[in-house]
Amino acid sequence: MDKRIRVLVAKPGLDGHDRGAKVVARALRDAGFEVIYTGIRLTPEQIAESALQEDVNVVALSLLSGAHNTLFPKIVELLKAKGMTDVLTIGGGVIPDSDIPGLKAAGIAEVFTPGTPTSAIVEYINANVK
Amino acid sequence: MANETLKAGFEAYTAGVVAKLDKNPERGNLEPSRLYTPLDVEGFDYEKDLGFPGEYPFTRGVQPTMYRGRFWTMRMYAGFSTAEESNKRYRYLLANGGSGLSCAFDLPTQIGYDSTDAMAEGEVGKVGVAIDSLADMEILFDQIDLSKVSTSMTINAPASVLLCMYIAVAEKQGVSADKLRGTIQNDILKEYAARGTYIFPPKPSMRLITNIFEYCAKNVPLWNTISISGYHIREAGSTASQEIAFTIADGIAYVEAAIKAGMDVDAFAGRLSFFWNAHNNVLEEVAKFRASRRVWAKVMKERFGAKKAKSQMLRVHTQTAGSMLTAQQPNNNIVRVALQTAAAVMGGTQSLHTNSKDEALALPTTESVTIALRTQQIVAYESGLADTVDPLGGSYYVEALTNKIEAEAWDYIKKIDEIGGAPEAIAKGYIQKEIQDSAYKWQMDIEKGNKIIVGVNKFQQEEEAPKNLLRVDGSVGELQAKKIAALKAKRDNAKVEAALATLKAACADDSVNLMPLILDAVHAYATEGEICGVMREVFGEYKSHVAL
């Protein structure tokens, strides 16, 4: 690939715990991706708009507050509404296993739970980015 | 030189070990030295470096008899869903030997939004209890005697509002403010640096904090007006030395702000409290607690000229490290928490929250919270760790480590002073960068296998998905919306408007202490979102800049 993969690492909702998001962002950057980190406390609208403006291939969402079932699907919908149908949307955080099927059905391609090595996320993106 | 024979002996020992390292190799990646001896604490001066417990520099503890008199306060952080649900959990904890309350608020409450605000979508009741007005607070403390219990509230940017609500509930119970005991976190600097629940920019935030110091010194004298928190800095990935250094630098900034606002240091410093993390490395943690007390005592005495012993003491609440809980094999977390508890107790904490085994997955169930509370009780009553003061004092290793952490902390404090103090160092992103670098190093050490986390990168096993996780359903938001609508129909809205208008005008005048005006608005049943809303209008909102 001559063009580098562009990833938006984003934190929807109100939780400020972005240790994971920052570590992932940095690991993705070290793996050769172009990474944009949004910072904390973004609305789904702001995230979808950033994804569009930055023309990213991947949106990586991080949420630790438990609001994922509400906010993740909303972001997927907004991305679609903006015509970003090819973007690979993945998520991570404190997410119970039982919520994962629902999130996948809503368009989150993969969910990475605590303890996942960053290398697994890099491999997943390389294998699945469109 | 008595040390000459020791030095020779140590050299002989080392030579002997090294000669056999090929045959008897050591594990790699070991940070401490092989062996600690009196050579590692040369120049050690008991009276100067340790002193006696309850005496400067408080290395051995802040009370003369520590846990021989009374155990630390077993204070379990709890709160979820509605005030009704959380009230039940509080009463359960108190009935089971919990000795203080610790309130977890949901994120909309922590960021000054009502449950009905668009920003609150999906978050209501999730990580803590939803509090929209005094009416919710009355339910939260229903049948809990506020003259008897001490209550810690993890609330920062809107700490003034929640404290006023607490004062108002107490009034209704017939308990005057001068009897109230507890703590508000009220530490905005670490919110900018590590935790994220800021609202206002630094200047008005620091004003609110000094307003609280001043108001409480006169009206709520037993209240800990701030809990200067390293916990979240550590959770964000810092090292032990960074945790205490950045936090004490924040503490210096608060003391400077209060002095600048015209207060005498000894009038407020005795009510400053701290909040440490109890992490995995037991002896490093013990040394950290000891070093932190010594550093703060010196800061207060030498830098600020505090005269009262109380002003020089670093009193600390502790929580076991949430970020060290693993989602894998969650029962292992019980053991981790027990060791972290041992560290906090040998470190001399004044109160402790122990995490539950399931918290890497969800909020804890009643069963797992009970195990966490019992862990403290077992350490208190069965382990013997609480039976003598500072049991590790005099250990060559622990004393050397205490000195090392202290020295590293001073280096950071000096560097932050050169930058212009903690607020400036945060504005420049220096502190955030240091924390992030440590967090990244930690993660890479795990991924490279330099650091082993049992069940995560070694000894993994196939597991079934855990059952019985606590879920907060989505209806809490609707329930709170109904409560707010009913409240607005019932309260005297003219009175609310008037109280908010007065508060708003005062926000623009730096010379006014806002606490009495916030209390008026709370009494009138203005919602938290309305009160923070008028403050937002005058103060504006903080925007963080992002750097990787």
The residue in chain A having the minimum alpha-carbon distance to the alpha carbon of residue B472 is: A66
With 0-12 / 13-18 / 19 or more C-beta atoms within 10 angstroms meaning exposed / middle / buried, residue B298 is middle
Which of B126, B237, B327 is nearest residue A19 as measured by Cβ atoms? B237
Chain A contact for B153, CB < 8 A? no
Per-residue confidence (pLDDT) for residue B3, from 0 to 100: 82
Whole-number Å distance between alpha carbons of B478 and B447:
43
Residue B106 lies inside a defined structural domain of this protein: no
CB B162 within 8 A of CB B105: yes
Whether residue B494 lies inside any domain: the answer is no
Q: Closest residue of A to B363, CA-based? A: A66
B6/B450 Cα distance (integer angstroms): 34
- Predicted pLDDT of residue B338: 98
Q: How many domains are contained in chain B?
A: 1
Model confidence pLDDT, tens digit, residues A64-110 = 999 999 999 999 999 999 999 999 999 999 998 999 999 999 999 99
Buried b (16+ CB within 10 A) or exposed e, B344-357: bbbbbbbbbbbbbb
At B1 the pLDDT is: 52
pLDDT for A3: 83
Task: Flag whether B433 is in a domain.
Answer: yes
**C-alpha separations of B507 from B112, B362, B415, B497 in Å:** 16, 39, 34, 15
The residues pairing with B153 across neighbouring beta strands, listed in sequence order, are B103, B184
Domain-embedded: residue B294: yes
Q: Are B447 and A119 contacting, i.e. CB atoms less than 8 angstroms apart?
A: yes
Chain B residues closer than 8 Å to A46 by CB: none
Closest partner CB to B236 (pick from A13, A19, A69):
A19
Token representation of residue B203: 């200047």
Q: Output the tens digit of pLDDT for each of chain B's 548 residues.
A: 568 999 999 999 999 999 999 999 999 889 999 999 999 999 999 999 999 999 999 999 999 999 999 999 999 999 889 999 999 999 999 999 888 899 999 999 999 999 999 999 999 999 999 999 999 999 999 999 999 999 999 999 999 999 999 999 999 999 999 999 999 999 999 999 999 999 999 999 999 999 999 999 999 999 999 999 999 999 999 999 999 999 999 999 999 999 999 999 999 999 999 999 999 999 999 999 999 999 999 999 999 999 999 999 999 999 999 999 999 999 999 999 999 999 999 999 999 999 999 998 888 999 999 999 999 999 999 999 999 999 999 999 999 999 999 999 999 999 999 999 999 999 999 999 999 999 999 999 999 999 999 999 999 999 988 878 888 877 999 999 999 999 999 999 999 999 999 999 999 999 999 999 999 999 999 999 999 999 999 999 998 877 77
Domain presence at residue B391? yes
Give the position of tokens 């203005």. B526
Residue A23 with chain B: CB contacts under 8 Å? 237, 439-440, 443
From chain B, pick out residues whose CB is under 8 angstroms from the CB of A14.
107-108, 110-111, 119-120, 123, 197
Comparing CA positions, the residue from B73, B97, B64 lying closest to residue B388 is B64
- Asked if B361 has any chain A CB less than 8 Å from its own CB, the reply is yes
C-alpha pair distances (Å), B415 with each of A112, B246, B362, B418, B440: 38, 11, 39, 5, 22
Domain assignment present for B35: no
**pTM of structure:** 0.96
In which domain, by residue range, is B431 found? 46-71+147-447
CB B220 within 8 A of CB B178: yes
Specify the CATH class of A6-128 in words: alpha beta
Residue B287 sits in a domain whose CATH number is 3.20.20.240
CB under 8 Å to B111, separation ≥6 — which residues? A14, A41, B119, B157, B158, B197, B199
Sign of CA dihedral B12, B14, B17, B21: negative
Beta carbon pairs, A and B, within 8 Å? 107
Cross-chain residue pair B439–A65, CB shorter than 8 Å? no
Nearest to A60 by CA among A23, A89, A101: A89
Domain range list for chain A: 6-128
Output the pLDDT for position A6.
Answer: 98
With a cut of 70, say whether residue A111 has pLDDT above it. Answer: yes
Which helix (H) or strand (E) segment holds residue B153: the answer is: strand B150-153
Q: Nearest Cβ partner of A96 from B361, B443, B548?
A: B361
pLDDT of residue B413: 98
ipTM of the complex, rounded to two decimals: 0.94
Show the tokens assigned to A33. Answer: 């991706």
**Pairing between β-strand A6-10 and β-strand B181-184 as defined by DSSP bridges:** unpaired
Distance of CA B418 to the CA centre of its chain: 26
Contacts of B530 (CB under 8 A, 6+ apart): B114, B496, B500, B521
What is the phi/psi pair of residue B521, to 5°? -65, -40
Residue B289: which region, alpha, beta or left (left: phi > 0; alpha: psi -120 to 50)? alpha
